[in-house]
Amino acid sequence: MAEPTLPILEIRDVGKTFAVQGKTVTALKGANLSVKRGEFVCLLGASGCGKSTLLRIAAGFEAPSSGQACMWGKPIAGPDPARGMVFQDYGLFPWLSVRDNIGFGPKSRGRPAAEIRDTVARYIDLVGLGAFADAHPHQLSGGMKQRVAIARVLANEAEVVLMDEPFGALDAMTRERLQDELLDLWGRTGLTVLFVTHAIEEAIFLADRVVVMSPSPGRIDAVHDIALPRRRDVSSPAFNDIRRMLSAQLHSHHGRVAA
């Protein structure tokens, strides 16, 4: 068993370079981050700050060019059901019903049919899609698709949920409702969440810790603990103080890029 003090995710001095048209672009440089089990961590930054790259390295979709990413102390060698990913564009299988999308993971891992049926039923209920169990993705709204995508990684017993701007394509009201639902799920299941966003308010509303990242080259600037009690009031003075502080920090990058 893992020691209680061992971080579930650890990013050690991770860098990532891509070759673009013969030139080397540094997407991420010297990133260090340690995530404890059950934490909700947001990666916040403008586009090009490497937040998605960091998330994809944690998922195992990309290998770091330098440094190491570990889960429970073991180097991450590739995608694994223990780390479920929720994409902004959903990534649902269009030929499968809601039920079969959620059952895809358990089926891939060879679970018995009866168990898959029970698991799927439980998670369909959990995300409130009972009436749409047999619908196909093209018949669902964006918010419903994202609920399926979340249920799909939870049904697969993911310990860490990696979310890449999952609510970025949704309208404001749907986004707020899904944020609430996500926090509710997180509170009930003891999941660990690593959540990428460029929206300051979203990061403060959701996270235990906000990791502020800045571009060119992409790197981690600062990590802030958000000590506000939950459920957080986005209009409270304390919330606004944090928002102002993070906003100033993010805008200082813009100044530097323009200069």
Three-state DSSP string of 8-62: CEEEEEEEEEEEECCEEEEEEEEEEEEECCCCEEEEECCCCCCHHHHHHHHHCCC
Closest CA to 98 of 64, 139, 67: 139
Sheet holding 192-197, edge to edge: 83-86, 160-164, 192-197, 40-44, 209-214, 219-225
- 208 scored as a contact of other proteins (CB under 8 A): no
List the one residue from 85, 116, 126, 196 that touches other proteins (CB under 8 A): 85
Q: Which of 52, 156, 197, 214 binds other proteins (CB under 8 A)?
A: 156
* The one-letter amino acid at 224: H
- Residue from 25, 96, 133, 183 in contact with other proteins (CB under 8 A): 96
Residue from 12, 65, 87, 177 touching other proteins (CB under 8 A): that is 87
Q: Using the rule CB under 8 A, is 81 a contact of other proteins?
A: yes
CB under 8 A: which stretch of 27-35, 66-74, 91-99, 193-201 binds other proteins?
Answer: 91-99
Which residue, 77 or 222, is less far from other proteins as judged by CB? 77
Burial zone of 74 (CB within 10 Å; 0-12 exposed, 13-18 middle, 19+ buried): exposed
Q: Does 84 bind other proteins (CB under 8 A)?
A: yes
* Residue 147 makes contact with other proteins by CB under 8 A: no
- Minimum CB–partner distance for residue 95 and other proteins (Å): 4
**Nearest by Cα to 198 from 183, 184, 215:** 215
Query: Which residues contact other proteins by CB under 8 A?
Result: 59-61, 78-81, 83-85, 87, 89, 91-97, 104-105, 108-109, 136-138, 152-153, 156
